[in-house]
């Protein structure tokens, strides 16, 4: 069966349709690639939270509960749950945007191949981000189930932390995607991201204790961190951690702004890089 | 090809004064050309001639600095997706998805054009056959040879049945056998009436594949015609290549100048342009000039380029 153009692109390619849903074709390709690693994605999604629950949630939690009875009025695992979900979401979405971006622009340059099709630079960015959100949704849902099984959700509202974490993942993913496009050297980029962004976020965002416990000169890391804003909201929504309405607005506003500006920045970076 | 014939043909690409500048450097310096439906049009020139830049402007992935350009009657600057929908692009370096199989690469690319799954499935069978990759369909791209990757990249560009297939240096880096397989595939496309746009710095490739060639150097057009037309216009029928040794080439050159229509003294050899190379060699021997080696061959596009620019094509 030899190649024979029967109709020609003028008849078979619907540009108007691509302008509406072109990003989904990028998501579809990304999911196809993820599927190749389904086994490790699944094991990581289940094993990671289980180990965390056993070590920090149960182990450290027992120590803290025995010492002070509770944290923020709830048992330690309940206090920890929203923070762990947000951390998992942020970490997952970051992985799922940074690696494809470096691969697409630098390693295999597959984004330049997509850029030769009617799919626009913005749609490539949207498609990659959406795939990252789907992968993150899978991971944080598994995480939520594990937390539930370990008794971390003491109220019926515990599940609310899952979509909240997912939104934080989307916001951080959009923001970090634009930065990854601009990265000149991927080795340095990974090193800087891991040491100077992810680690401080994890340690200084009120994950394991309330931010107010920290000395004032270190709290600013938390204030800047999407993890702290998400964790505060998560604790407020899941077990009634005290927050003023103004602070609720600040946290929600921060995440919305990060998503909006992050996506806009990512669009600009994709367009710039693909038109060079 | 005469202008009368061209006038009756459908113009797919038309460039007038096309220009691309980077600060003080003009990569493409105000060029005019037309590409007609069903023809195979080549940009021939050395690295840095402006060929790939021109291709990227046509492919709507690079904005021009000046001039006019229409593809299928539309300006790529304001109708990027509409133009891209009808182009098949084969870039200089393969940018396949290494994590996916041969078949999956064709599938996802078809999806970028919004093609229905059933259509792509059928098309994949045709394209695997065309690219001679049927037995590699489930193999990951990273396991393919350079020639196979190239054929897959071409097959991928055909998934949407494009009006114009653009190939940027299609055989660079391939071994001779892989090049010939690829030329065969491209020749089949040409026979089927697919419009081909090719950049190359290989003169044999340009002669094999192109109906018309635009010779480019430093962002400008040096000449434009069919391969045979360019050779006829800018060279003689035959070329006599002689070597007297690198020290003596420049010494004997003045004596040879009067014997040939034109000569080119290169560091390692002298090229003498004449209608009859054998007769010229005979005359040379009779005058007591005995080169260390000699070769009579037909004029090629390399000679055309040397005549036009004073440089060899591959330096």
Q: Which of the residues B161, B188, B193 would you substitute to probe the A interface, choosing the one with the greatest number of A C-beta atoms within 10 Å? A: B161
Distance from CA of B238 to the nearest CA of A (A): 39
Q: Which CATH architecture has domain B3-232?
A: 3-Layer(aba) Sandwich (3.40)
Chain A CB contacts of B192 under 8 Å are: 3-5
Q: Is residue A155 less than 8 Å (CB to CB) from chain B?
A: no
pLDDT, tens digit (0-9, with 9 covering 90-100), for A198-229: 777 778 888 888 888 888 887 888 888 999 99
Calculate mean pLDDT across residues B255-269: 90
CB contact under 8 A, B86 and A13: yes
Please check the confidence at residue B4 and state whether its pLDDT lies above 50: no
Q: Give the position of tokens 């695997």.
A: B128
pLDDT category, B63, cuts 50, 70, 90?
very high
Q: Is residue B96 less than 8 Å (CB to CB) from chain A?
A: yes
CB contact under 8 A, A3 and B127: yes
Specify the 3-state DSSP secondary structure of B223: strand
pLDDT, tens digit (0-9, with 9 covering 90-100), for A143-194: 999 999 988 887 788 889 999 999 999 999 999 999 999 887 777 877 787 7
| B195 neighbors B42 (Cβ within 8 angstroms) | no
The mean predicted confidence, pLDDT, of chain B is: 92
pLDDT category, B314, cuts 50, 70, 90?
low
Q: Is residue A44 less than 8 Å (CB to CB) from chain B?
A: no
Calculate mean pLDDT across residues B136-149: 94
Domain boundaries, chain A: 29-274
d(CA B184, CA B180): 6
Calculate mean pLDDT across residues B267-278: 93
Chain B CB contacts of A17 under 8 Å are: 114
| pLDDT value, residue B132 | 92
Q: Is residue A32 less than 8 Å (CB to CB) from chain B?
A: yes
Specify the 3-state DSSP secondary structure of B17: strand
Chain A CB contacts of B80 under 8 Å are: 120
What pTM value is reported for the model? 0.90
The conformation of residue A160, written as its DSSP 8-state character, comes to G
Give the rounded percent of residues in chain A with a pLDDT score beyond 90: 56
Q: Give the position of tokens 């500006």.
A: A261
CB contact under 8 A, B63 and A275: yes
pLDDT, tens digit (0-9, with 9 covering 90-100), for B20-40: 999 889 999 999 999 999 999
Chain B CB contacts of A34 under 8 Å are: none
d(CA B122, CA A180): 38
| pLDDT value, residue B2 | 45
CB contact under 8 A, A12 and B81: no
Burial (0-12, 13-18, 19+ Cβ within 10 Å), B61: buried
pLDDT category, B120, cuts 50, 70, 90?
very high
Residue A125 bridge partners (DSSP): none
Q: Give the position of tokens 């979900």.
A: A85
CB contact under 8 A, B125 and A1: yes
Calculate mean pLDDT across residues A42-62: 83
Q: Is residue A102 less than 8 Å (CB to CB) from chain B?
A: no
| pLDDT value, residue B7 | 62
Please check the confidence at residue A6 and state whether its pLDDT lies above 80: no
pLDDT, tens digit (0-9, with 9 covering 90-100), for B148-184: 999 999 999 999 999 999 999 998 888 888 889 889 8
Distances from the Cα of B298 to the Cαs of A179, B230, B239, in angstroms?
56, 13, 6
| A111 neighbors A105 (Cβ within 8 angstroms) | yes
Query: Mutual orientation of helices A226-239 and A76-102 as an angle, nearest 10°?
Result: 140
| B240 neighbors B296 (Cβ within 8 angstroms) | yes
Please check the confidence at residue B252 and state whether its pLDDT lies above 50: yes
Give the rounded percent of residues in chain B with a pLDDT score beyond 70: 97
Chain A contacts in chain B segment 194-253 (CB below 8 A): 194
Residue B35 bridge partners (DSSP): B13
| A143 neighbors A92 (Cβ within 8 angstroms) | no
Domain boundaries, chain B: 3-232, 236-298
Distance from CA of B68 to the nearest CA of A (A): 19
CB contact under 8 A, A117 and B109: yes
Please check the confidence at residue B43 and state whether its pLDDT lies above 60: yes
Bigger pLDDT: A31 vs B8: A31
Q: Which residue of B has its CA nearest to A5?
A: B161
Chain A contacts in chain B segment 134-153 (CB below 8 A): none
Bigger pLDDT: A31 vs A52: A31
| A263 neighbors A97 (Cβ within 8 angstroms) | no
Please check the confidence at residue B211 and state whether its pLDDT lies above 80: yes
Specify the 3-state DSSP secondary structure of A116: coil
d(CA B270, CA B263): 7
Chain B CB contacts of A26 under 8 Å are: 112
pLDDT category, B75, cuts 50, 70, 90?
very high
pLDDT, tens digit (0-9, with 9 covering 90-100), for B79-99: 999 999 999 999 999 999 999
| B64 neighbors B77 (Cβ within 8 angstroms) | yes
Distances from the Cα of B188 to the Cαs of A3, B89, B127, B184, B201, in angstroms?
9, 17, 13, 6, 22
Please check the confidence at residue A51 and state whether its pLDDT lies above 60: yes
Q: Is residue B33 less than 8 Å (CB to CB) from chain A?
A: no
Q: Of A203-207, B6-10, B101-105, B107-111, which gets the smallest average pLDDT?
A: B6-10
Q: Is the dihedral of CA A211, A212, A218, A221 positive or negative?
A: positive
The pair of three-digit structure tokens given for residue A148, joined into one six-digit string: 């539930």
Q: Which homologous superfamily is B236-298 in?
A: YebC, transcriptional regulation domain (3.30.70.980)
d(CA A222, CA B261): 82
Q: Which residue of B has its CA nearest to A124?
A: B112
Specify the 3-state DSSP secondary structure of B84: helix
Distance from CA of B63 to the nearest CA of A (A): 8
d(CA A230, CA A237): 10
């Amino acid at each position: 069966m030899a190649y024979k153009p029967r109709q020609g692109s003028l008849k078979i390619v619907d540009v108007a349709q691509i302008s509406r849903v072109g990003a989904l074709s990028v998501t579809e390709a990304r999911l196809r690639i993820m599927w190749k690693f389904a086994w490790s994605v699944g094991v990581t999604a289940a094993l990671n939270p289980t180990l965390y629950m056993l070590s920090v949630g149960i182990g450290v939690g027992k120590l803290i509960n025995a010492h002070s009875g509770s944290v923020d009025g709830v048992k330690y695992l309940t206090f920890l749950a929203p923070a762990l979900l947000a951390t998992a979401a942020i970490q997952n979405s970051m992985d799922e945007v940074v690696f494809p971006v470096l691969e697409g622009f630098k390693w295999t340059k597959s984004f330049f191949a997509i850029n030769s099709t009617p799919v626009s630079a913005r749609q490539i960015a949207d498609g990659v981000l959406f795939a990252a959100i789907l992968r993150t949704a899978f991971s944080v849902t598994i995480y939520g189930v594990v937390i539930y099984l370990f008794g971390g959700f003491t109220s019926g509202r515990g599940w609310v932390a899952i979509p909240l974490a997912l939104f934080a993942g989307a916001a951080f993913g959009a923001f970090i995607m634009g930065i990854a496009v601009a990265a000149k050297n991927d080795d340095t980029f990974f090193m800087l991201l891991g040491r100077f962004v992810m680690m401080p976020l994890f340690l200084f965002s009120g994950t394991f204790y309330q931010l107010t416990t920290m000395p004032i000169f270190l709290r600013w890391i938390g204030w800047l961190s999407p993890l702290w804003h998400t964790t505060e909201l998560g604790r407020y929504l899941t077990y009634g951690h005290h927050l003023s309405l103004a602070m609720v607005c600040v946290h929600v506003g921060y995440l919305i702004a990060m998503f909006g500006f992050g996506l806009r920045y990512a669009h600009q970076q994709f367009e710039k890089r693909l038109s060079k | 090809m005469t202008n009368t014939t061209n006038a009756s043909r459908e113009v797919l690409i038309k460039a007038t004064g096309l220009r691309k500048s980077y600060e003080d450097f003009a990569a493409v310096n105000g060029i005019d050309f037309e590409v007609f439906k069903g023809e195979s049009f080549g940009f021939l020139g050395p690295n840095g001639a402006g060929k790939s830049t021109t291709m990227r402007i046509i492919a709507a992935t690079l904005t021009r600095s000046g001039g006019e350009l229409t593809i299928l009657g539309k300006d790529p600057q304001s109708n990027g997706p509409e133009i891209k929908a009808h182009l098949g692009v084969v870039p200089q370096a393969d940018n396949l998805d290494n994590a996916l199989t041969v078949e999956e690469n064709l599938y996802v690319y078809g999806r970028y054009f919004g093609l229905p799954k059933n259509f792509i499935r059928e098309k994949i069978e045709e394209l695997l056959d065309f690219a001679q990759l049927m037995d590699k369909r489930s193999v990951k791209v990273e396991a393919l040879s350079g020639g196979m990757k190239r054929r897959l990249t071409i097959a991928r560009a055909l998934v949407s049945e494009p009006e114009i297939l653009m190939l940027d240096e299609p055989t660079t880096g391939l071994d001779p056998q892989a090049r010939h397989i690829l030329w065969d595939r491209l020749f089949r496309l040409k026979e089927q009436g697919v419009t081909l746009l090719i950049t190359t710095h290989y003169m044999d490739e340009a002669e094999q594949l192109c109906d018309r060639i635009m010779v480019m150097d430093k962002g400008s057009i040096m000449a434009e015609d069919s391969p045979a037309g360019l050779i006829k216009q800018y060279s003689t029928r035959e070329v006599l290549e002689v070597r007297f040794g690198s020290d003596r080439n420049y010494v004997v050159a003045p004596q040879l100048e009067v014997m040939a229509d034109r000569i080119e003294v290169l560091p390692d050899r002298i090229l003498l342009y004449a209608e009859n190379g054998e007769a010229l060699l005979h005359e040379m021997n009779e005058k007591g000039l005995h080169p260390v080696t000699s070769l009579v061959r037909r004029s090629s596009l390399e000679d055309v380029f040397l005549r036009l620019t004073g440089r060899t094509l591959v330096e």
